Amino acid sequence: MNQEKVVNHILRDLKFLGIIPEGCEGELRPYLMAIYCAGWEKGRLEINQHGNKTIGQYNRQGRLINTFKSRKEASQKTGFTERTIYNNMYRNVISRQGWEWKYL
């Protein structure tokens, strides 16, 4: 959904709920547009680059031991290959060493 459509939906809902009176959407529109941009930019910066997802390393009891920004980082810091981590995650199995990997 694009910015204009989102702002229009918000204004419609605010009017429907009686939070704002008819005719003042022109005054609110610039602020809602700015809020949308700020939120979009914050979200864009918080998402890991290249579509990487944060990974958690768990022990046999299911306790979170460590977190990594990507499989590559997990591989470098733990010594497991990226393929091993990938296979353990998608097959939902625990490694011989007792580690389990999940997306957070």
Which residues have CB under 8 Å from 101's CB, separation 6+? 55, 56, 57, 58, 74, 85, 88, 89
Helix H or strand E encompassing 67: strand 64-68
CATH code, 50-103: 1.10.10.10
In this prediction, residue 48 carries a pLDDT of: 53
Beta-bridge mates of residue 55: 68, 103
Alpha-carbon distance 42 to 27, whole Å?
24
Alpha-carbon distance 47 to 53, whole Å?
8
User: Which pTM does this prediction carry?
Assistant: 0.50
Q: In the chain, list all ranges with CATH 1.10.10.10.
A: 50-103
> How many other CB atoms sit within 10 Å of the CB of residue 80?
20
In this prediction, residue 88 carries a pLDDT of: 87
Q: What is the pLDDT along the chain (104 residues), one digit of tens a residue?
A: 788 898 999 999 999 998 988 888 888 899 899 888 888 777 666 665 556 678 899 988 888 999 998 888 889 998 988 888 888 888 887 877 888 888 77
In this prediction, residue 76 carries a pLDDT of: 92
